[in-house]
């Protein structure tokens, strides 16, 4: 888990701080970055079955929920960093359209329970391809809808801490297989 978070975080740390101010003010660039702490959002009410998009919409503005969306110009720069690091196959990086990151680290236990319930339902349409555990965290890695030689969305979910990363796009299965083969050392038990 930490390796994947580190890959994404490194790309974001390198690119986002330098560009966020100008990208947010320059709508013509096609960039958008949303980061919210939900100070003015209403409390979340538990419980209908939601899709991943609906989970994002439901929680992104909630107080004590950290949300980050990277697309447009910022994603282009992040993708360049990902390619330079060579941690993800280039064809997977090219297929990446948007990254959503949600964290409920500072949220109440009730909110976290609601989020876990919604995520369990939302992930029922996804296929778990890997479950890994390090000293403290257990992470599930999922893919969305399979379509021939492609799959939609690469989903990284750590349910104990309620951390979610959704990498949206239509990714080639060959890229997934390459990532699994190249990173066996961090998930083999």
Q: What is the pLDDT of residue 183?
A: 60
Of 12-26, 86-100, 109-123, where does mean pLDDT reach its minimum?
12-26
Q: Compare 128 and 88 and report the one with higher pLDDT.
A: 128
Q: Compare 62 and 129 and report the one with higher pLDDT.
A: 62
Examine the pLDDT at 60 and tell me if it is beyond 60.
yes
Contact in structure between 10 and 85 (CB atoms under 8 Å): yes
Averaged pLDDT for residues 62-72: 92
Percent of the chain clearing pLDDT 70 (strictly above): 69
Handedness of CA 52, 54, 60, 62 (dihedral sign): negative
Q: Is 177 helix (H, G, I), strand (E, B) or coil?
A: helix
Look at the block and give the residue holding tokens 């490194």: 10
Q: Does pTM surpass 0.95? A: no
Minimal CA–CA distance to 56: which of 47, 43, 66?
66
Lookup: tokens for 73: 């110009």
Q: Is 114 helix (H, G, I), strand (E, B) or coil?
A: helix
Average pLDDT of the chain is: 74
């Amino acid at each position: 888990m930490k390796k994947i978070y580190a890959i994404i975080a490194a790309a974001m740390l390198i690119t986002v701080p330098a560009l966020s101010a100008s990208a947010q003010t320059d709508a013509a660039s096609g960039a958008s970055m949303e980061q919210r702490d939900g100070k003015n959002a209403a409390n979340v009410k538990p419980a209908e079955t939601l899709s991943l998009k609906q989970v994002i919409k439901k929680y992104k503005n909630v107080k004590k929920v950290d949300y980050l969306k990277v697309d447009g110009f910022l994603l282009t720069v992040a993708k360049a960093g990902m390619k330079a690091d060579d941690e993800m196959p280039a064809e997977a990086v090219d297929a990446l359209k948007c990254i959503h990151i949600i964290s409920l680290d500072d949220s109440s236990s009730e909110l976290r329970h609601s989020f876990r319930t919604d995520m369990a339902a939302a992930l029922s349409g996804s296929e778990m391809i890997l479950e890994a555990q390090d000293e403290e965290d257990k992470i599930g890695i999922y893919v969305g809808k399979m379509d021939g030689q492609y799959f939609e969305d690469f989903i990284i979910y750590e349910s104990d801490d309620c951390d979610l990363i959704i990498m949206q796009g239509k990714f080639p299965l060959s890229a997934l297989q390459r990532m699994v083969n190249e990173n066996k050392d961090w998930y083999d038990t």
